[in-house]
Amino acid sequence: MIEVKNLSKAFSGKVVLDNVSCNLYKGKMNLIIGTSGSGKSVFMKCMIGLIQPEKGQIFFDGKDLLEMNKDDKKELRKNIGMLFQGSALFDSMTVEDNIKFPLDMFTNHTLKEKKNIVNGVLDRVNIDGANKKFPSEISGGMQKRVALARAIVLKPKFLFVDEPNSGLDPKTSLVIDKLIMELTREYEITTVVNTHDMNTVLESGDNILYLDYGKKGWEGTKEEIIFNDNARLNDFIFASDFLRAAKEKRMKELS
């Protein structure tokens, strides 16, 4: 579980995060939603320590990231997996070597054990026969899955995912979302996902945080979000006329 308390961050005077607090739970899909430029990526980068916030606390299972020394941080990092927006696979390495890399760096397994683990996670993300290919030789959806395999190969307790669906078609998006959700439940991972994809929100939002240009705008579950009474959030989720009409119809049916 991750507890964020009063997190604030500004870039040369421009406030990007303004006193954000939230809880992110174990074994749940914790979604951070908001329009482009609302600060989702910055929020995530603060949580994993790539950006230093001005103010606030970030507790990973009770330990404040911002107070940790180098060794504690190193230990924590081994428990964090991240799936980047552009996959961020190492393009000088094959698919197999990409996934093997964290094992090479941080474990003492034999080559055979490592190969088995790699094939296990590749199997888990439904990739077959791409071991020797380079990232540039496989499709965007496959790259995402390989990156996901790399993120989970050390069995992390925390998984961060930045815009899993950007650049993917709706069908592939659903496959990725489903995979992330299954892995979250299976390994009891505290998963944090940045998204502005409503499919993802309604499909997998166990715990949703709406960022409204750096401020916490709303918090709740996927069941609650449909009937929320926050005008700006409604504008954001029911952006199209079609969805707005669908919501009104459903509201009428219920009342």
Partner 1 sequence: MIKGFLTHFGRYILMLKQMFRRPESGRVYYKEFFHQCNEIGIGSLWIVIIISLFLGAVTTVQTAYQLVSPLVGLELIATIIRDSTFLELSPTVTCIVLAGVIGSKISSELGNMRVSEQIDALEIMGINTHTFLILPKILASIFVIPCLIVLSMFLSVLGGYLAGTWSGILNPTQFEMGLLLDFVPFNLFFGLIKAFVFAFIITSVSAYFGYYVKGGALEIGRSSTKAVVVSCIIILLADYGLAALLL
Stretch that binds partner 1, among 85-93, 171-179, 213-221, 226-234 (CB under 8 A): 85-93
Q: Contacting ligand ADP (CB under 6 A), which of 6, 37, 113, 245?
A: 37
Stretch that binds partner 1, among 96-104, 167-175, 182-190, 236-244 (CB under 8 A): 96-104
Concatenating the DSSP letter of every residue in the chain gives -EEEEEEEEEETTEEEEEEEEEEE-TTSEEEEE--TTSSHHHHHHHHTTSS--SEEEEEETTEEGGG--HHHHHHHHHTEEEE-TT----TTS-HHHHHHHHHHHH----HHHHHHHHHHHHHHTT--S-TT--GGGS-HHHHHHHHHHHHHTT--SEEEEE-TTTTS-HHHHHHHHHHHHHHHHHHT-EEEEEE--HHHHHHH-SEEEEEETTEEEEEE-HHHHHT---HHHHHHHT-SHHHHHHHHHHHHHH-
Residue 146 in the binding site for ligand ADP (CB under 6 A): no
Going by C-alpha positions, the residue among 98, 103, 156 that lies closest to residue 127 is 98
* Identity of the amino acid at 109: H
CB of 173: closest distance to Mg ion in angstroms?
A: 16
**CA of residue 38 relative to chain centroid, distance:** 16
Residue 91 in the binding site for partner 1 (CB under 8 A): yes
Sheet with 80-83, edge to edge strand ranges: 80-83, 158-162, 190-195, 29-33, 207-212, 215-220
Q: Contacting ligand ADP (CB under 6 A), which of 7, 24, 33, 42?
A: 42
Residue 20 in the binding site for ligand ADP (CB under 6 A): no
Residue 66 in the binding site for partner 1 (CB under 8 A): no
* Identity of the amino acid at 246: A
Of 111 and 239, CB closest to Mg ion? 239
Total residues at the site for ligand ADP (CB under 6 A)? 10
CB of 18: closest distance to ligand ADP in angstroms?
A: 12
Q: Contacting ligand ADP (CB under 6 A), which of 11, 13, 128, 253?
A: 11
Stretch that binds ligand ADP, among 35-43, 101-109, 131-139, 151-159 (CB under 6 A): 35-43
Of 12 and 110, CB closest to ligand ADP? 12
What is the token pair recorded at 85? Answer: 């927006």
Residue 86 in the binding site for partner 1 (CB under 8 A): yes
Of 86 and 170, CB closest to partner 1? 86
Residue 1 in the binding site for partner 1 (CB under 8 A): no
Site string for partner 1, 121-160 (x = CB under 8 A): ---------------------------------------x
Stretch that binds partner 1, among 19-27, 81-89, 201-209, 213-221 (CB under 8 A): 81-89
Residue ranges binding ligand ADP (CB under 6 A)? 11, 16, 34, 36-42
